[in-house]
Each structure stands twice: as structure tokens, then as C-alpha cells.
Amino acid sequence: MPDTPLYTSQLWPPVRPRAVNPALTTMNLLESLGFVGRTAATGVHALLPLGLRVHDRLSRIARDAFEDRGANTVAFPTLQSRTLWEESGRWDVYQAEGALLTTRSRSGEDMCLAPTSEEIAVATVREHLRSHRDLPVRLYLSTAKFRDELSPRGGLMRGREFVMGDAYTFDTSAEGMRTSIDFLNAACRAALLGMGLTGVFQATADGGSIAAGPSTEHLVLGDIGQSSTLACDHCGHRGDGAVISGRPTACDDPVVNVIAFVLTRPDGSTAPAAVAIRSDLNVSPRKLAAASCAARVDLLDADALPGLFGKQAGTLTPWDCTHAELYFDTSVAQLDDFSISDGADGLRRHLSWAGAPGLPPLTPDGTPLHRAAEGMGCGRCDDGSYHTIRTIEVAHVFELGTQYSAPMGLTVPDAQGSRGPVHMACSGIGITRCLQTLADLHRDHHGLRWKPGCGPADLHLIVLRADLPEMRQRTDQIVGQLQQHGIRLLVDDRPEAAGEKFAYARLVGVPHALVLSPQQTDGTVECIDRWTGRQEPMPLSQIPSLSSGAH
């Protein structure tokens, strides 16, 4: 069954195109046209009838992309128990970040409005998994998520409540997991292309608080993007500076800093660590976590430095780190001499790893721990350098491994009967973010433009002299005929002048508009292509072909 037609005479909020300036920002345009509504809460928006139609189409496109590849669609609760999040160890982590919205039931049970669904996905599969023959499992869901953003901004781009299309995969081995990661990337790409997002590219990314393992972002270029991605100007290699490698430019007078960290092991134990790095570079905690096999990396509090190292902040040297895991970034490993502050003599120049009076020699291992940055040489080719591009993250694929299954006891017996943790991966598509992204990327100076199958309707019927009984009758007949073909319709049946109706059609951006007027007596209607502006008569029998690409 096609969607019930939307009639502008009944639409809420009422259509007022004269009050809409097409030069507004995209979010303001969506609000003015009645796609999105503001609420009293910062970072929380309402989807109004037109916006909800777009949202539902994007959700359906994403779901179909995963189901067509064999995923099962489920619905998980957003309200989740603290007990579940403590099993994974993330309750305290997210609480410390201030990102978790929590509540307490009348019975005293602590709960959260979940920002992600890893815990509930593990618990659901754990309840039903009996044998390795039950795997792989691939689940898809679309649900509202909540995150207490410190500064929500950009409208639907970064809010406190948002809708994600998530998928979770469960495999018996790391090899199977990598196959599932290919599945997730392919499904995400198909979904995004189906939404009309062209120019999507993938980049190596930081898994953040979701995944300690590698991850892949699906990005598009866009001025409203809130992500900065490094791109090589020669080979095109792209990624997050926290993950990809870069070659720093040479430095004539290098200064070495030593930064102290706390490593949290997978078993929960902690250990101090220190990184010697050139002072003009920054340590990537993600790279340090990978090098040290740590589950988490945090900067050591400055107040703890004297007790552990006998030094104040800013005065630590590699020779002070005998009781910590010491790492040397590649930027300092090959230095013949350098400057360093020891807190007593200020900058001591001409030190070297060969040592000095009272300082034994050190052998730097040269681990790449610095964050890649704009201007650095590309870590993949020898000829290019990185520049920064503004991007919009529309999807993300994460390699989870046993990060959640091991602590939560999701294990499966193999063919020999030995139990081992299940290997997981997951993905997320930002449905509400894609809505605003599509609106922003495709708009023009007249208003919004939606790709076929992705907008609030497939066809926009502009009924002239809608007050005439014969025009109302003709409109009803045409609406009935088009609905039989599964076409979604927006019908402008208001008793307004033609100019105002045409202006509204350009603003709202449905791909094709059909003009019905009393002067048409030969079975044709006037068709206007929103993308090209072309206007031509067309027989009614050919109208369904206009939206054939939308179904």
C-alpha cells in the first residue's frame, strides 16, 4: 500500500511559502517549510509530516539494503539496565564522559537511554545462541538513540536525540568477522547510494568509545560537516589523523617532550606509561593503545606526576621513566641531538640518546605514535602530503572483535566442544543526519531538491483552480490512478494563485511536479522537472514512469 497522499490544505503546520526565504540555512529552511520543528530542549527536534515522510523513506532504504543481503531486522529497547552496561564495563566510562542520560525506576533500578546498542545486542544473542552452527548472525535495527552532547549544534547533525540504522554481526572467528565487515561496508554503501548520496567515500577512522579495533567511516564532502579528514594530494589516501600514519617535516632545532599516560588493560588493571615525542607533535591515544595492547588510554593527572616520577608537569625526561612503560615516537628515535627540559637547568641542549654524564644511553624503538596532521607527508606514498577536508560522517563500520562478547560471556562451542568468545562487528547509519545532509547537498537557490524515492513524495500535484468541483473530481481520479502504481503524492489543493503554488513546489523540492488546470482537455498534464527546470506536456499514461526509479 502506498502512503496516504499529503494534501497541502490539511498539512500541519500550514503552508506559508511567502514567509520562506530560499537563502536560509538548510536547517532553517527545513524548519520554515515544516519538515522539522524546534522543541524546548536544546539538541532535540520534532519531525513534522514532510520531514517524517523523508525520514521513513530513508529508514526503509537502509533497512532494505541490509535485508537484501540477509540481515534480520529486530527492534531493541532504548531504555536499558545499568547491569547490562556494567557487564561490558562501559557504564563508568560513559558516566565519566558525561554522555550517558540516566534515570532510576521507582524500584531503584538504574537505567540509561542508550546511545548505542552493543550491550543489548550481546544479551539478545547470548540468550538464544547454542552452537557454532547458529552463526553467523546478522541483525539490523533502526531506533532512537540518546547522547548528552556537551554542545549540540548543527540541527540534526549533532543532537541529543537521533535515529540510527544499526547492524550487528556475530561470527565464530576473526576471519568470519572480517567477512561480516565487508558485508557491513557493502550494505552501508548501498543504503547511502539508495538515498541519493553520491560521492560517498571511505576513510580509516578512530572507533572512539565504541570500538578499540579498526573502523571505517563513510563520508561525503560538505560545508555543514563537523568532521575534519586528512587527504593525500597525490595518492588520495584519507583518514582520521588519530589512526593513519604521517611523516612529519624535518625540524632544525628539535625539542623532546615526555607525556605521561595511564594504561587500562583489558582485565581492568592499570599501569603508567610515557611517550617521548617531538614538542610540535601530539600523541594519538588510539595509536598508543594499539602499541601497548591497552583497552583505554588516559592522560596522567598532573598531581600524580611527583609521586610516580618525582617530577613536576612539563619537566619529565625519558631518564625519569624507569617505573613506567616508555615509548619513543618515530619523530625522536633518529635524532642525533635535541633539547629537553629537566626542570632544573631549563632547556639542556645537545643531549642525545647516547647519554650524558649521569644519564645512561637509551635505545629508542621508534613506534609511530604521533597524530597525523595537515602538511605532513602521506604515510602511504612517498610523494604526497596531507591537507584537511571538511566532511560529513554518514555511516561508520566498527571491528569489535571480542571487546563485548568476552566480558559479557557471549561464547560458543566449536566443533570440538571448546568454548570461545564470539567475534563481533557493527555499523551505524545516521538516518536523521542523512536527512539534513541530503537537503544541504542537493538544494539550490530556489529551495530544496530531493532525489527520486527519497523526498516527502514522488510527485507533487499542483491543482490550479482547486475550488472548482470539476477540478476536485479530476484530482481525485488522477490521485486514485497514481496510487495504484504505488506513487507517493503531495497534492497542492489550496485555493491559492498559480504563482504561489509554483513557488511552494520549488521550495519543497519534490523531484517532479504535475500541473492540473481547467484548460487541459486532451488527457495530458504539464510536467515540471525540479532538477532541470524543464517543463513539458505529458500524457497521464506516462506519469508512472517518472517515479519508476523510486520503487
pLDDT digits (tens, 9 = 90+) for 211-231: 887 899 999 998 888 888 999
Give 429: exposed, middle or buried? Use CB within 10 Å, 0-12, 13-18, 19+.
buried
β-pair type (347-351, 338-341): antiparallel
The values of phi and psi at residue 537, to 5°, are: -70, 150
- The CATH class of 6-19+449-550 is alpha beta
Closest CA to 461 of 494, 507, 420, 422: 494
β-pair type (270-278, 325-328): parallel
The position carrying cell 594530494 is 233
- Average pLDDT on 501-519 reads 95
Answer for the pair 424, 402: CB distance below 8 angstroms, yes or no.
yes
Q: What is the largest CA-CA distance in the chain?
A: 102
Residues of the chain with CATH 3.90.960.10: 246-351
22 pLDDT tier (thresholds 50, 70, 90):
confident
pLDDT of residue 299: 93
The predicted-structure confidence for 269-323, as pLDDT tens digits, reads as follows 899 999 999 999 999 999 999 999 988 899 999 888 888 888 887 788 898 898 8
State the fold for domain 246-351: YbaK protein (3.90.960)
- Average pLDDT on 501-524 reads 92
Cell triple for 391: 566532511
- Average pLDDT on 15-28 reads 88
- Average pLDDT on 243-260 reads 91
pLDDT of residue 307: 85
Task: Tell whether domain 51-76+115-242+387-438 is in CATH 3.40.50.880.
Answer: no
pLDDT of residue 533: 93
Q: What is the 3-state secondary structure (H, E, C) of 356-402?
A: ECCECCCCCCCECCECCCCCCEECCCCCCEEEEEEEEEEEEEEEEEC
Residues of the chain with CATH 3.30.930.10: 51-76+115-242+387-438
pLDDT of residue 234: 95
Give kind and range of the element (H or E) at residue 31: helix 26-32
- What whole-number distance in Å separates Cα of residue 548 and Cα of residue 454? 13
Give kind and range of the element (H or E) at residue 73: strand 72-73
pLDDT of residue 224: 85
The predicted-structure confidence for 156-212, as pLDDT tens digits, reads as follows 999 999 999 999 999 999 999 999 999 999 999 999 999 999 899 999 998 888 988
pLDDT of residue 424: 98
Decide if pLDDT at 266 tops 90: no
Decide if pLDDT at 515 tops 80: yes
Residue 311: how many other CB atoms lie within 10 Å: 18
Closest CA to 166 of 136, 142, 185, 137: 142
Closest CA to 441 of 223, 195, 226: 223
Decide if pLDDT at 551 tops 50: no
Answer for the pair 476, 461: CB distance below 8 angstroms, yes or no.
no
SS3 at position 45: strand
Decide if pLDDT at 247 tops 90: yes
Bridge-partner residues for 138, per DSSP?
169
The predicted-structure confidence for 102-122, as pLDDT tens digits, reads as follows 999 999 999 999 999 999 999
The predicted-structure confidence for 334-374, as pLDDT tens digits, reads as follows 888 888 876 555 556 567 888 777 788 888 889 999 999 99
Give 176: exposed, middle or buried? Use CB within 10 Å, 0-12, 13-18, 19+.
middle
Please measure the distance between the N-terminal and C-terminal CA atoms of the chain and give it in whole angstroms: 12
Residues of the chain with CATH 3.40.50.800: 6-19+449-550
Decide if pLDDT at 99 tops 70: yes
Bridge-partner residues for 399, per DSSP?
425
